[in-house]
Amino acid sequence: GAALMSALGVSGFKDLIVDGRRDHLKSLLEYLDQRLDQPQKRGRLRPTAFQSTYPIFTLLNTIAILGEEDYLTHRRDWVQQARLFYARLTPRAKANQAEYYLMALYNLGLLDQEVADSPDFVRNLVEDYEQFEATQTPQDPLFVNSDDAYIAETAWLFGVSDSVPAWIKLRLINHFREFSPDEKTLTAAWGAAYVFTAMDQLDVADILFMPNSAYDGKTPLGWTIENFSENAENEASSLPLLNHALLSSALRMRGDDKSVTDIFSDFKFLREKRDRDISSRAGKPQLVRSEQRASDLFESFNPSASAAGLGIHSQFDLSNETRAFYSPWSRIVRGMGLGQYPVAYNAEMADHLNAAFDFMQED
């Protein structure tokens, strides 16, 4: 419900949520209030902290989008509730909920008030997650993968990508073959989308397009796509996630200096309506791309261990790669299985792709 209302609000259809006759957001807040107070009944467990945080965080973001500050205290203080429930989460749960929490606070204009030093907050998040994971039995690879991806994206958003340890990146790379063996067709595209986005945000997505002995000498993304069912029919429900990941990567390549599209030109979050100062580094997500590239990740390991641990051909020399390897669209071509490694597509195809990329860059 919160996600739908957020989409409607940011698209300019607030009147579909609050139409003068029924207030759908208020009704949802009242339902959540009752749900949190519901006495425990036989056979029915009270919602856990994890089950409660997601609806609270997403509803806070909806309030920020609709710009209605009064909703923050309807029935209870929802910002306080968010703080209390977040504190009760395990480090693993915080890994995938912190981004929702921090971005909701940011969009409300309350991040500085609730989190004194957001970059330091995220560094501690990563450190706690790393220590927690070192003592835990591995979960289903798909869920571990999504936690790792959330950690990477949260660090990227707040300009501390350097805090993400190399072993998380390696685990992301090596999980492609392990997604829910019994339901691989349902999860492969989902997992690949998470991995691609995380690695791209950390600026080491190049590794996903390098031959890897763990994937029969193919690239991780190429191997995954080759193992889709015929016409990707079984992956249909999750395939859009991979498409969105590729489009998101292309949009990020436009750079931070590009203006927003028309649909968002007049949109303002609650933080902007409050005329708060959001220009300070503390409290404003710093969309900083890490300087670390694939070659740096290789160099962080013993060369002899790289081939065994990463399963990547030790003969690979990044410095000898063609310029096409760094072409933004060549990555997408490789990711969609349209070209073999190293990249080789004809000039006409390159012209069409670059023309499309130039169009996306237009203000």
**How many domains in the chain?**
3
Looking at the domain assignment, is residue 95 inside a domain? no
The model's pTM: 0.72
Whether 261 maps to a domain, the answer reads no
Are 63 and 8 contained in the same domain? yes
284 and 168, same structural domain?
Answer: yes
pLDDT in tens, 70-80: 999 999 999 99
Among 3-17, 90-104, 167-181, 327-341, the range scoring the smallest mean pLDDT is 327-341
H helix or E strand, kind and range, residue 63: helix 49-66
Position 112 scores a pLDDT of: 92
Range of the domain at 339: 321-363
Predicted confidence (pLDDT) at residue 127 exceeds the cutoff of 90: yes
**Which of 253, 139, 232, 142 is closest to 195 using CA atoms?**
142
The verdict on residue 85 lying in a domain is yes
Domain match, 47 and 159 both:
no
The answer to whether residues 79 and 101 touch, using CB atoms and an 8 Å cutoff, is no
The conformation of residue 78, written as its DSSP 8-state character, comes to H
Q: Are residues 229 and 274 in the same domain?
A: yes
HSE-up of residue 40 (Cα within 13 Å, Cβ side): 5
Q: In whole angstroms, give the CA distance from residue 329 to residue 253.
A: 10
pLDDT of residue 61: 94
Residues 78 and 26 in one domain: yes
- Rounded percentage of the chain residues whose pLDDT exceeds 70: 66
Q: What is the DSSP letter of 142?
A: H
Cα separation, 142 vs 228, in Å, equals 16
pLDDT of residue 78: 96
d(CA 210, CA 217): 9
120, exposed or middle or buried, with CB in 10 Å at 0-12, 13-18, 19+?
A: middle
Quick: pLDDT tens for 309-329.
232 222 222 222 222 222 233
Structure tokens at 118: 């957001």
C-beta of residue 2 within 8 angstroms of C-beta of residue 64? no
347 belongs to a structural domain: yes
Q: How many residues does the chain have?
A: 363
My answer on whether 241 and 354 are in the same domain is no
Cα–Cα dist 341/224, whole Å: 15
- Residue 259 DSSP class: P
Same domain, 123 and 51: no
356 in a domain, yes or no? yes
155 lies in the same domain as 56: no
Query: Based on the domain organization, do 185 and 292 belong to the same domain?
Result: yes
Residue 62 lies in a domain: yes
Q: Give the chain's mean pLDDT.
A: 72
313 compared with 226, residue with greater pLDDT: 226
Per-residue pLDDT band at 138 (split at 50, 70, 90): low
Q: Strand runs (DSSP E) across the chain, as ranges?
A: none
Rg over alpha carbons for the chain, rounded to the nearest Å, is: 22
pLDDT, position 184? 58
Q: What is the pLDDT of residue 339?
A: 31
The answer on 79 and 126 residing in a single domain is: no
Q: Strands of 256-325 (E only): list them.
A: none
Q: Is the pLDDT of residue 144 over 90?
A: no
Is the predicted pLDDT of residue 218 greater than 70, yes or no?
yes
Residue 284 maps to a domain: yes
Which among 41, 69, 89 is the end of a domain?
89
Assess whether 18 and 128 both reside in one domain.
no
Task: Please check whether residue 305 lies inside any domain of the structure.
Answer: yes
Please give the Cα distance from 309 to 204 (Å, whole number): 17
- Same domain, yes or no: 293 and 342: no
Residue where a domain stops, chosen among 58, 89, 120: 89
3-state secondary structure of 30: helix
